[in-house]
Amino acid sequence: MLKPKSPQESFFGSYLYDRIVPVDHLLRQVNQVVDFSFAGQILKDRYNPSIGRPAEDPEFMLRLYLLQYIYGDSDRNVIENARLNLAYKYFLGLAVDAEIPDYTTISYFRAQRLGEEKFRAVLDQIVRQCIDKGLVKGNRQIIDSTPIRANITVSSITGLVRKCRENVLKTIAKQDARVAKRLGLKDLENAESVKFASTQEGLQQEVEAAGELLDSVTAEFKTKKIRPTEELQKDLGLLEKAVADREEGAKDKLLSPVDPDARHGKKTSTTWPGYRAHIIIEEETGIITGVGTTPANATDGSQLKPMLKEQEKVHSLIPQELTADRAYDWGDNLESLAFNNTFANIALTKQVNPRSAGKGSDNYRERHRPGTVAHHTSCRAKLRQIHIHRLHGQQTP
């Protein structure tokens, strides 16, 4: 069940909005381009018409969520601004004296109503409308990534193994507290007061305790005193990974059992725990046409082909020109752009990137001065570009 929409007309009608919100205001421009009425249809299956109290209208909540993104508001701030800012009220379709919901509705809408799948459907619908209005043409696009810091505390390897061991025992306690106690839950809870002669000694003891716990849990499964539930198997897997990650040369290391997908990322001089948001942007208008999220240790170059392929699949959009930094200077990427007749503005790396070894860099790279910008720098791509320029009577670059 949904709450009825609030009529925008009030005692003052639209007088205040017409006088205070300028005709060239960003929110008026967005209103002229995008029709958000599709929100109800996309999110229809997230609402039950016969259970619970009436929910906020999905179009209203989507507009509120968009305001939060545009202006960088927190959940509390976007609600406060919606109460006081007439431009916000105008965009939300509210009367001047209309009531605003509690800030907790934002997080609930984001997590329970929207989610990743619905968010992509919403973005695709908005981009489709922008294409229809001529705001997205694919003439010149930019691809890049930005860090997303996970809301976790990164601990030492010893602390990580201990936390994973604790999670296993607490999950076992949900089935049988006596088994959890026998396997060491109480001792582990008192482990904070234990002192070790060295960090290495503490890690070694923690790893040994983890190994013993894994063996004990396997034995308990055989006696059927505890069941290998999905939650328990997940916790056991994280404990095994935390132990394996201590080995020299281990990659894709676990950072926290709280957010097991988060990884350590580095870009130029910036390091962070979490994720990378990969984005394709229309250069002229700044409209985002494609998004993707990966753990922070994923390379930028690995995302170019799948993101452009998804954009072509959803919107039949192939960029005529694409700009990217040197992280995307992979042979496969350059060849793929040349195949689609996309003019590539990609800064060259000074030497072959070890990460792209085996991806064709040696076969397709044409030597340039370090730091220059290249257009189709692969051998075959270069020949293709020369051919295209000759067809159009243009000077060969």
- In this predicted model, what pLDDT tens digit does every residue of 325-361 receive, in sequence order? 999 999 999 999 999 999 999 988 765 444 554 444 4
Same domain, 354 and 308: yes
Q: 228 and 285 share a domain?
A: no
Work out the number of other CB atoms within 10 angstroms of the CB of residue 285. Answer: 14
- pTM, rounded to two decimals: 0.77
Which of the two residues, 95 and 169, has the higher pLDDT score? 169
**Rounded CA gap, 356 and 328, in Å?**
10
Q: Which amino acid is at 393?
A: G
Say whether both 207 and 315 belong to one domain: no
Alpha helices in the chain (DSSP H): 15-20, 26-33, 39-42, 58-71, 75-84, 86-92, 104-108, 115-132, 157-175, 177-182, 185-189, 199-223, 230-244, 304-315, 331-339, 361-364, 379-391
In a domain, 254, yes or no: no
pLDDT tens column, 209-237: 999 999 999 999 999 989 999 999 999 99
Q: How large a percentage of the chain has pLDDT more than 70?
A: 83
Residues 35 and 113 in one domain: yes
- Give yes or no for a contact between 67 and 88, defined as CB atoms under 8 angstroms apart: yes
Are 237 and 294 part of one and the same domain?
no
- Say how many domains are in the chain: 3
Give the C-alpha distances (Å, rounded to integers) separating 119 from 111, 116, 168.
10, 5, 33
Calculated CA dihedral for residues 209, 215, 221, 225, nearest 10 degrees = -50
Say if residue 367's pLDDT is above 80: no
Q: Is residue 69 part of a domain?
A: yes
Mark whether 289 and 373 lie in a shared domain. yes
On whether both 285 and 234 belong to a single domain, the answer is no
Domain of residue 326: give its range.
276-391
* 10: in domain: no
| pLDDT value, residue 378 | 38
Q: Per the domain annotation, does 353 fall within a domain?
A: yes
Query: For residue 7, is it within any domain?
Result: no
Q: What is the pLDDT confidence band of residue 2, given thresholds at 50, 70 and 90? A: low
